[in-house]
Amino acid sequence: MKQSKLWVLAALLMLASCSTKRSAIDELESFSYELRDHSANYTVDEWKEAGEKFVKIRKDISKHELEYTPEEKTRIGKLEGKCAGYMARGMKQGFFDKLKAFGNELKGIITGILNAVTE
């Protein structure tokens, strides 16, 4: 009877461990979708939050590094690559949008100066 309780406990621990390592991958996948769908419009504060969330997910994944199969590690790598790509694209787009807005403002300033000088 004592041995059967140990088997049940071992099985529960294995299931809990599997669920936890799986949830870290699922969280990374969900984060990649979030970045794909919304990062183009992130503010500076949202980028800070996204960076912190990515670090947290990476820490969760690293806790189970030795438990992942080669296939899971490949999937993790692909998801991390997607996240990095979405982050780079979103940051670049945000930078160019701000630069374009500044360029338009600068154009207005120059036009205003020229109009004032020629009046």
108 has pLDDT over 90: no
Q: How far apart are CA 14 and CA 7, in angstroms?
A: 10
Cα angle: 87, vertex 105, 96; to 5 degrees: 15
Distance (Å) of CA 53 to CA 28, 31, 32, 37: 9, 8, 11, 16
Mean pLDDT of 29-36: 94
In this prediction, residue 15 carries a pLDDT of 46
Write down the pLDDT at residue 42.
85
Q: In whole angstroms, what is the distance from residue 69 CA to residue 75 CA?
A: 10
Using the predicted structure, report yes or no on whether residue 75 has a pLDDT greater than 80. Answer: yes
Instruction: State the average pLDDT for the chain.
Output: 78
Residue 57: pLDDT above 90? yes
Contacts with 117 (C-beta within 8 Å, 6 or more apart), sequence order: none
Residue 41, amino acid: N
Mean pLDDT for 43-50 is 86
Q: Compute the average pLDDT of residues 64-74.
A: 93
**At 52, is the pLDDT very low, low, confident or very high (cuts 50, 70, 90)?**
very high
Q: State the amino acid at position 111 in one-letter form.
A: T
Across 53-74, average pLDDT: 93
